[in-house]
Structure formats: structure tokens, C-alpha cells
Chains A and B, each alone.
Chain A
Amino acid sequence: DSGVTQTPKHLITATGQRVTLRCSPRSGDLSVYWYQQSLDQGLQFLIQYYNGEERAKGNILERFSAQQFPDLHSELNLSSLELGDSALYFCASSGGPPRENTEAFFGQGTRLTVV
């Protein structure tokens, strides 16, 4: 168990809909990362939050948004869903100050299927 919790584990929804994926980081971790992994593909970095603020942005579509709350949990919102958004969405967390708990620990992912 990595200590990172993602809910739900599986999600099936129709095109055009909106969903929210939730991530609770490891206790004490300040950074949260979101990644998208399509079938047999690598990890596409979406966005990173650090202590409540957006820190880095990757190839995140305008239909997608995220936030990190004061309790450090994070949500990834996906709207106007398309078939191509079907993927495994990972959340990862890591510590803050340099040289402390710097590994990124991954949740088990949310498997999103858009039909």
C-alpha cells in the first residue's frame, strides 16, 4: 500500500458527461501529480499541485481542470468527455522540502471508460 488513495477505482460514463476523480496523498506529502495513461501508452503528465498551488502544467486539455484543497487532497475534473479520454488516471504524491521523502508514490489509478 503506497498510502495514496484514489477514488473511484473504476468509472464508466457516457460521452459528453463530466466526472470528478479524487486523490488523497500520503500523509505529509505536499505535492500531488496527475497522469493519464492510455492503453499501452506511457505516462502523460497532466498537472502538478504543490501545497495548494498549481506548480506545473503538462498536456492537459482545456476540458480538464484540477485543484488541491487545504487538506491537500486533490480532484481532477474531466468534462465534455470523449471516447479518447478513456484511460487510466494516476495520482501520485511526494514530499516537500528537498531530501525528504522525495519518491513519488502512486495511487492504484482510476480506470475511466467513456462509452
Chain B
Amino acid sequence: AQTVTQSQPEMSVQEAETVTLSCTYDTSENNYYLFWYKQPPSRQMILVIRQEAYKQQNATENRFSVNFQKAAKSFSLKISDSQLGDTAMYFCAFMPMEYGNKLVFGAGTILRVKS
């Protein structure tokens, strides 16, 4: 069974600084996707970034980037130039590439950006 672990229940960062959220996962699959979702106070689930396991290059989306270490089964999210609007719960998620794949979430990390 696949599991996703986020070891940081809460984190805080000063506006304009950089913060890294940790995520590890466990799977026997070789082909899969990894995601970071953001859930602001509005409770809407928003996809932040996606990484395909078969790609060695780390995904980036503007101020958001990941450090994907397949052998270590680690998938951290780096947020640069943090903004107040980044305050949210962040969920790491895993999805096998097989048909009818199941999406597995970590417990989440609350990120607070301070002015």
C-alpha cells in the first residue's frame, strides 16, 4: 500500500523569504505522479505543481519548485519569495500511473506567511 508522510504539521515564514515543505512516500510502483495541492482558508483544493516519476528534471511553476529524489522517495516543495496569499494548508499527494489509479494524500502542512 502506498503511504505519504508530511512530517511538519505547521510552518511559518516571513514574507519574501523561502520555505521548504517536506514530503516522503512509500510505494513499490515504478511509474507514478506526485503532486502538491494548496488549500487556502476558502477550503478550495488547488493544484500547485505536478511531477512525473519518469522525469528526472524537477518541476517548477513560477515561485514553486520541487526537489524530487526518487531513490530516497522524497518530494519537497520550495516556495520562493513567499507571499501572504501563500498562507494555506499544503498537501502532498501520490498517484500510481496505472488505470483507475488511486490518489493518496499526506496529512498536510499548515503554512503561515507573516508580514
Taking beta carbons and an 8 Å cutoff, which residues of A are in contact with B?
30-31, 33, 35, 37, 42-43, 45, 48, 50-51, 55-56, 88, 90, 92, 94, 96-99, 102-106, 108-109
Residue pair A94, B99 in contact (C-beta under 8 Å): no
Question: Is B50 an interface residue, CB under 8 A from the partner?
Answer: yes
Task: Give chain B residues whose Cβ lies under 8 Å from the Cβ of A31.
Answer: 100-101
Task: Give Cα distance in the complex from A51 to B52, angstroms.
Answer: 24
Residue pair A109, B43 in contact (C-beta under 8 Å): yes
Task: Give Cα distance in the complex from A30 to B100, angstroms.
Answer: 8
Closest 9 CB pairs of A and B: A50-B100, A106-B45, A56-B102, A98-B97, A55-B100, A42-B107, A43-B105, A42-B108, A104-B103
For B35, B46, B98, B99, which residue has the most chain A Cβ atoms within 10 angstroms? B99
The listed residue (B33, B43, B47, B91) touching A42 by CB distance below 8 A is B91
List residues 68-115 of chain B with CB under 8 A from any CB of chain A: 91, 93, 95, 97-108
CB-CB nearest in chain B for A53: B100
Residue pair A102, B33 in contact (C-beta under 8 Å): yes
List residues 30-64 of chain B with CB under 8 A from any CB of chain A: 31, 33, 35, 37, 43-47, 50, 52
Task: Give chain A residues whose Cβ lies under 8 Å from the Cβ of B97.
Answer: 98-99, 102
**Given known A-B contacts A102-B33, A102-B95, A92 and B103 have beta carbons under 8 A apart:** yes
Task: Give chain B residues whose Cβ lies under 8 Å from the Cβ of A105.
Answer: 47
Residue pair B45, A103 in contact (C-beta under 8 Å): no
CB-CB nearest in chain A for B46: A106
Task: Give chain A residues whose Cβ lies under 8 Å from the Cβ of B95.
Answer: 94, 102, 104
**Given known A-B contacts A90-B45, A102-B33, A97 and B102 have beta carbons under 8 A apart:** no
Task: Give chain B residues whose Cβ lies under 8 Å from the Cβ of A98.
Answer: 31, 97-99, 101
